[in-house]
Each structure stands twice: as C-alpha cells, then as structure tokens.
Structure 1
C-alpha cells in the first residue's frame, strides 16, 4: 500500500501539490475558526441555579430553598450529579451534566423544571440561572481610574452605563461588577417618635414602597382634546422620601421626616477590591460564553471600551487589571517563532550537508502543511488552541524536522547509490 502511494505520488506530482495546497488553505481556515485560549477548559458541564433571600440563616436557606430545589431538579435527564451550598441569604445549586450534553439544552431543561419547583419556595423568592460561561470564562478584568470621585458614584457609572454597554459585545455572557458601594436611601427611624405617632416599621415600608411608583389613569377628553392622566411617583432625591405621608395622626399627616432622618449611603459589603495597595477601585469582570474564541472576545471588548470611554465623565478612564489575551498572544508567538527557527535550521542543515536546494524545499513545504493538518484535526474534534495543544504542536515540530531530514537524506543517498550502479553498468 505504501509502495503504491509513493509510486502514485511520484508519477502525479501536480496532484500531490494540489492536495498539499488544499490542505494548507484548509489549515489556515481552521486556524481562523478554531477557538484560541490560554487555558484549556477542563471544567465540568454544569448549570448553576442561584437564589437570594436576604436576612435568612443558612439553615433556613437549606430547609426552605436548597432542599426543595435539589429534590425537584434530580429528575432531569442526562444528569451526572447535583451539588448544593447554603449560606447566609444565598443558595447555590450546581447541576452537573454529562460531557456530551449541549449546555444550552441543559439550561433549557433546568428552566423547565424550575417553573414547577418555584411553587414550592417561599413567596417572592425567585431562583435564577448563572451565566452561560465556564470555570475559566473570566477572560478580562478592568477597573475605573477616577481620582477624586466617590466610590458610590463610580459604582453607579459601572452598573448603569459601562456594564450594559459591554454586555452587548458578542461572546460575552456577563459583566460582573465589583468594588465600591451600591447607593441606597437609608431611613434611620426614631423608636420614641414612632411610638408617639403609633407607627410601626411595616407602615413605613409599605408607604415608601407605594410612593416610589408611577401609576396610570384613563384618557380624559375636554374641548376636543384628549389628555392622558398618570401619576409620577418615582423618588428622585432625599426630599422626596422625607415628604412621603405614612398615616394621619389627629387629622395631621405623619411624614417620614417626622419619625426619623434620611441619608444616602451604601449597601452592606462582603469584601472590597483594592488596586496594589493604593486604595479601593470599582470595575468589572467579563465572563465569556461557552465555546467562544477568547482572543476575539477580548479584542471586541477592548474596542467597545474605547467607545464607552468617550461617554464617561471627565477624568474617568479605564485601566486593565487582567488581560488573558497577553498570554494567548505570547503562546501563539512562541509557536510561530519555533516554526520559523526550525525551518531555517533544517534548510541550513540540508543545504550544508547535501548541497541540494530541492531537498531543502521539500522539507520547507512539509513543515507548514503538517502544522496546518494539526489545526484541521483540532477543529474537527472541537479542541481549542490553548497552551497545552500549542505546546504539543511546538514539540511535534522537532519530530517533523527530524523525520524530514532523515527521509530526505536517506532518499538522497539511495538515489546516489542507484545512480552509481547505473553508471557502472553502462561502463
């Protein structure tokens, strides 16, 4: 079989060159389409269900949230395992699927089961799915450089402007905010005044909740004109909160300012984000979707950040905290450098020892085609180009080079011996 293949190749050089050119072009296409990342994705095929019920102890979360969810999610097909964790005010359920299961099919089946399981949970407790990313999906971190700006203002810019803009980038599953303070109106109530006016905390909560709302009315026609009636009630500043009426006391409305004080503050935090010991900063973590090209996603995020930066307040800019594309590009450059070095070394060896430029040309053609076929196989089996696979290719270049030198030298020697035998026979 091998003899026939060699004979066919020798008699049909044009066909061999055409097939080689096609393989090389296919390899270039595979390089462009194959996902490139620095770290191989060894994480499990999982769907995360997150439930928040603030103020409840871990035991209450376990009994009333985690246990009902786990017991009702177990019937989903193709599940390998279910893990769960309960903590103060939060519940996490990790549904591990088989490796060959499509992640978006898995998320759909989990959502179907959650529609039923939610009826078993306490009122106003809504479980949500985690982002459709993997354990190595944190590809890019950034923070705001805003000297002199309040951390609450920075967090507001991140949450209500930057985050929404970056989430529109193709391949981004989520932009998780970190650092700073989430701004909130804080009511500090006086128990003695509340007792005097006969007001309890639920009265205050219901009054504030009802007042912070827009309500609609009917259409009103007058003098051949139609007017839409609606009530504007969204809170815009501290004074709006102070003027909210809670109840009547001796025919006089009791307002929020009569029983306490209102101030702007930040929500309770579980941690901070510090920049090299220079102080707190506010930023975000870009999470990549399943199977996306990390290098393309990061470059697209950087381009989007340049557009977003134009709309930031004066003096506010972006700074990169972690950029995986640097490692990716270095890994690619390493393979390119190894390939070029090996091609130069092989060419010099063949030219010096054999003095035959066609033999050197054969090896120069063989090396890039072999690398191209490697990327074709990576693309066919769904393996990303990462440090592990690229390192394997870089090591394999040495084997290809050795094989090329040995084969060319052996062919050259055999041809020379045969030529000498023919010359002797003719004499």
Structure 2
C-alpha cells in the first residue's frame, strides 16, 4: 500500500470519487435498513421452569416440586447457576448457562430431566419449560375509566388492535384475571355428604368440551364435539351435583356462584391531582374508577422507532373513537431516548463539521479545509455501512461509541491534510505533495488507530450479559477507525491534489499571512524551545510524569475522586417502594402511604415541574383456593387457610384492605410496590440459589 495504492488513488480522481460515492450510498442504505433498538442484540442464556400448583403453600411447593426438580436439573450440561423460588401455588426455577453453551441443547436436556420426574402432585399443572425471550419496552399506556368492568373490553380491544398493527407484544397490568368462584356452605356439604374436592371433580368432569369422534367418511367426514364448557356464572347453576334416590340437587340450589378477580392479582390506583398537600386516592374496584396499564414492547429483532410510529399512529386513530369516560395517558416512552441520542449524534456531527471547517479555514486554504472536513461525514457513513454488513445495530451503546470516535476521524484527516499542505507550500507538485502527506503519515496514523483499538479491546473480554452489551463500543470503534483509514488514505489524497492545483496560481490573503506569521512565531519561539528543553532534561520530564501518575492513582485510591462504572443520570420517573414488617397495623401502613404521596406532591410543587402520573401497584394474596386457569374456584367458609391451616373465618383474610396494603394469609403484614418491575413474593415463600 505504501508503494502504489495511495499513488493510484491520488492520481485517478475518478477512482477516488467512485469510492467516496460508494461510501455515501452504502451508508444511506445502512441507515434505512439497520435495526434501531435500545440495547444491542444479545441472547439470554437462561432457561425457565415453572409449575403451578394451585392452593399449595410455599413449604409444600418446595417439598413436592422444587427439591425433586433441583436434583434432576443440576446435571444439565453447561449449567452455571440454578435459582429456585417456592411461593404460594407456584414453583419457579431459573437455569443460567455458561457462555458458549448451546441453549437449544440445554433446553432439550431440561425438558428430559423434568419429564423423568413422574411424581408431581395430582393437582399440579403441566410444567412450562422455555428459554427466556428478551423484549424491550417501547412505551407505557395508562387506560383510565369509570370501572374495571367498563375498561376490560376496551383494553382487550386495544391489545388486539396493537398486535394487528405490528406491535410485537403487549403486556397488561392492573387488569385482574377473572375466575368463576363457587362457594358452598359447610352445613350443606355435611348434609349432602359431599366435599369440596368432590364437587370440584364433578364440575371439572361435566363443564368441559369433549371430542366425540368422527361422523362420515372421506371428504364428508365431520368431527363431533360436545360443547359443555361453561363461561358464565349462570351456566354453572344447572349442573347436577347429586342425582340419586335422594333426588336431584343442582349446583345453583346450594352454592353461591360469582365472577370475581383471581387472588394475587396486580392492581393500580390513581391519585387525583389537587391543591398541594391534598391527597385524594382513588381505589381500584370493580364498580369504581380504575386504571389499567399497557406495556408496549418490541421483540429483540424489532425496530423501536418503527414500533413507536405504529403506536403513535394507533393513538391518533383510536383517540376520536373513545367515549369521554375513557382516558389514555402515555408515559415512559423508551424510544424517545433513542431518538434523543440519534439527534445528539447528528447535532454533534454537524457542530464538529462546522467547527473543523471554520478552524481549518483559518490555517489552511479554503478547498483544502473543505476536503479535510468532508472526512467526517464520509467516514461516518462508511462506518455505518461496515456496521450493517457485520450485523450491527443502531442502539444506545453503538451511538455512544460513535460519539466517542468523533474526534478520532478529525485527527486523522487534519494531520494528513496539514502535512500535505506544508509540502505543497515548500514547492512540491500538487500530486506529489498529496502522496507525500499520505505516505509520511501512514504509520503514525495506523499506530494511533491501533492504540485506540487497544484501549477499547478490554471491553470485548468482559463476559456475561454486561460483556454482550458493552461489546458494541469496541466493535463500533474498530468500524469507525477502519472507515477513517480508508477515507484518509484512498479518498482524501485525490481531493487534496485537486485543491492544490487550484491554489497554484492563487494569492495568499493578507490576513492569512498574519495568521501564519503568528503561528510560526508560537511554534519557533515558544513550543520548539519547550520541547527541546524537555528532551534535554529527560530525567525531570519523566519524573514529573511519574509524579502526576502517582497523584492520579492516589486520588482514586483515597476516594477523593469516585469511580463509577456507569453514571446515574437523572430519570424522568421516580419509583417509591415501601415494605412493612409482619405485625404492622393497617392504619400505620395506610398513613405511611398517604405521607409518601404528600411528600411526592410537595416535591413536585417545590421543583415546579409538571406532575404526570402517580400510581401504586398492589399485590394481594387472599386465603382462597386458586384453581387451574379455565376451571372454577370453590371455597367454603370452613376451608382452611393455606398458611396457618386455620379456617378462613378465623384467619380473617376476607376483610377488605386499604390501598397499598396486601395481607398474606393470617400473617399480619402488608407490602406495597410502586416499581413497575417489582416482583412481590409471599412472606412465607422460600428462595434457593446454588
């Protein structure tokens, strides 16, 4: 390359222009086709095993499911960490794999190990074994209305419409799952000689759709199916639970059948905006004002900005069709951060291009300064093309890497352009000056690029999920440096040659001669003597460098300069979490929540910012039997509590609870969560990690 390639491109202007045009075209194609997302694409090597055993306590779940599965799953190849959690009615196991392990092979092994266990509890559901899929949030939507009953059909309609428009996933929060609860008095059970389990089996046997064979042959064959699945409380009243010589007893004659929210359902409550210090909490009830949250997400390979456009278009279309009682509020729009980072990159790029062009115009001829500054957009577009070709994406980390390397592109073009211009002023021909500048600065520029790569290289050696995320920074840096080297050594020399040929007959303006004279004075009278003395007294120079290094290390070691791997920028959303120990009076927990709300409102008033949303998430676990999805729940006032084994009447868990308080079994403790990702766990739940 030192002998001929630079000279070939410098002497053939068309070849250099074609390469530059190719960089621009490929960069434009990459911008239109490259995926835009929040984080880089990486796989979560985590396998989840989940078993639902409705009505079982955490101790029973641990003994009957967790421990046997742990003994079998710990032999999965490539297992790094096994974490299990036993909660009321749910067993969850998480298998984290070593980096490089084949996740599909590990998933098959996990399924085989689970299938080998034949002694699951009779009422336990089929184990759900899956590899964790990663979805990223696009935005959150709050749907407010007069009641849950009114909001439920609207929310389901919103979910269907968003999915139909191309949104990858929609999660609904604050909308309790419904079930049909059948409550039979204990005296009736004793009179009829029945039990709750017997009635449950009878209902499960009768209230289901059963295939009934095939009628006809060949093309005229039709499948038969008996449709007995009940989906309304009134439909269960006609089921016969006793049919013998004692007579016919239907379920509706002895039981109370209602549709209700499943226990342990997440709920949201709004806080009305009033005067400072005035707190009005609106509790979510079936017949009162309610709020439901929709989390709009994109898949790992989805485009965040495209999903945001689809979401905004849906909001525009659905807004006029809503009744006045339904209100939509968008918040926590993650895509806005990506757009802001892209705007920042474009703004900084334009600002850097303008500043470089103005400063170079002071010290270099106009055409030379222009082609040196053109190295910034050319190299960036070429870097985006390389990033796209190698499977990269536009995300918060890659954009950060592009911002870091903005100055590197300027340095390479400036040093080559300035040296070539100095050779031209010393009397060299335009072509020879451009080639001499590129050849003379080839190894210094390459060495500088390799030094930059070496500085970023340790980030590629970080393992795990964090390494997958931070690996985009050195990857982007290498793409930018490679594009910059191609631009300054293959494209720019031809343009410098053309600029020098134009300035052969041009006269140097008087103001430029004054600037050059001032710069020469600074270089020859101040800078050069200082460098000469530093080299002559090299021992003093090295000692000063060592002293400054020791001071820097001392500031870090002494804690005077804090080291933070990731800075903590100010967030637009504040989450407040409150946990109360067992035995805390209900009034005290409610008063604390009211005080927290008052403090948040006072803070908003003092800061003068616009308060957007204040919401509370509540996780409640009453003492009721939770059946499998699609099956009715049956409870009795004499049925025992899952935690204390006492009757529900003595346990007192059927009493109403204040907002922000959730009572677990008969243990008098309450918890409230306001974080959207808080994962509440039953106080009696056990967690194992190994």
What range describes the TM-score normalised by the shorter chain of this pair? 0.7 to 0.9
Distance 1:89 1:299, change over 3 A: farther
Query: 1:175 & 1:129 partners in 2: Cα distance?
Result: 21
Aligned positions, number: 411
Residue of structure 2 in register with 1:154 after alignment:
151
Distance 1:217 1:58, change over 3 A: closer
Equivalent residues of 2:50, 2:90 under 8 A apart: yes
Cα RMSD (Å):
3.8
TM-aligned CA deviation for residue 130 of structure 1 = 5.1
Match of 2:418 among 402, 409, 422: 409
Equivalent residues of 2:173, 2:266 under 8 A apart: no
Query: 2:214 & 2:406 partners in 1: Cα distance?
Result: 77
Query: Is 1:36 aligned to residue 33 of structure 2?
Result: no
TM-aligned CA deviation for residue 396 of structure 1 = 1.8
Residue of structure 2 in register with 1:292 after alignment:
302
TM-aligned CA deviation for residue 218 of structure 1 = 7.7
The residue matched to 2:264 in structure 1 has which SS? coil
The residue matched to 2:84 in structure 1 has which SS? strand
Query: 2:59 & 2:270 partners in 1: Cα distance?
Result: 36
Query: 1:29 & 1:38 partners in 2: Cα distance?
Result: 21
Query: Is 1:319 aligned to residue 329 of structure 2?
Result: yes
Match of 2:249 among 233, 249, 254: 254
TM-score by length of 2: 0.52
TM-aligned CA deviation for residue 402 of structure 1 = 3.7
Distance 1:21 1:165, change over 3 A: same
Match of 2:187 among 192, 198, 202: 192
Q: Report Cα offsets for 1:9-66 as digits up to 9, x if no partner.
A: 2112222221222223222333333332334568842232222222222233233323
TM-aligned CA deviation for residue 179 of structure 1 = 0.4
Distance 1:72 1:305, change over 3 A: farther
The residue matched to 2:37 in structure 1 has which SS? coil
Equivalent residues of 2:179, 2:260 under 8 A apart: yes
Q: Report Cα offsets for 1:186-220 as digits up to 9, x if no partner.
A: 22221112222333212322333234334566899
Residue of structure 2 in register with 1:14 after alignment:
14
Larger Rg: 2
User: What 5-or-longer segments of structure 1 have no aligned partner?
Assistant: none
Query: 1:399 & 1:24 partners in 2: Cα distance?
Result: 19
Residue of structure 2 in register with 1:393 after alignment:
402
Query: What does 1:192-341 correspond to in 2, within 5 Å?
Result: 192-215=187-210, 231-248=226-243, 251-275=246-270, 279=282, 280-303=290-313, 315-316=325-326, 318-341=328-351
Query: 1:228 & 1:30 partners in 2: Cα distance?
Result: 52
Query: 1:72 & 1:296 partners in 2: Cα distance?
Result: 44
Q: Report Cα offsets for 1:369-394 as digits up to 9, x if no partner.
A: 21123324433554432223212212
The residue matched to 2:427 in structure 1 has which SS? helix
Query: What does 1:351-370 correspond to in 2, within 5 Å?
Result: 351-356=361-366, 358-370=367-379
User: What 5-or-longer segments of structure 2 have no aligned partner?
Assistant: 273-280, 283-289, 434-503, 505-690
Query: 1:306 & 1:58 partners in 2: Cα distance?
Result: 47
TM-aligned CA deviation for residue 322 of structure 1 = 2.5
Residue of structure 2 in register with 1:69 after alignment:
69
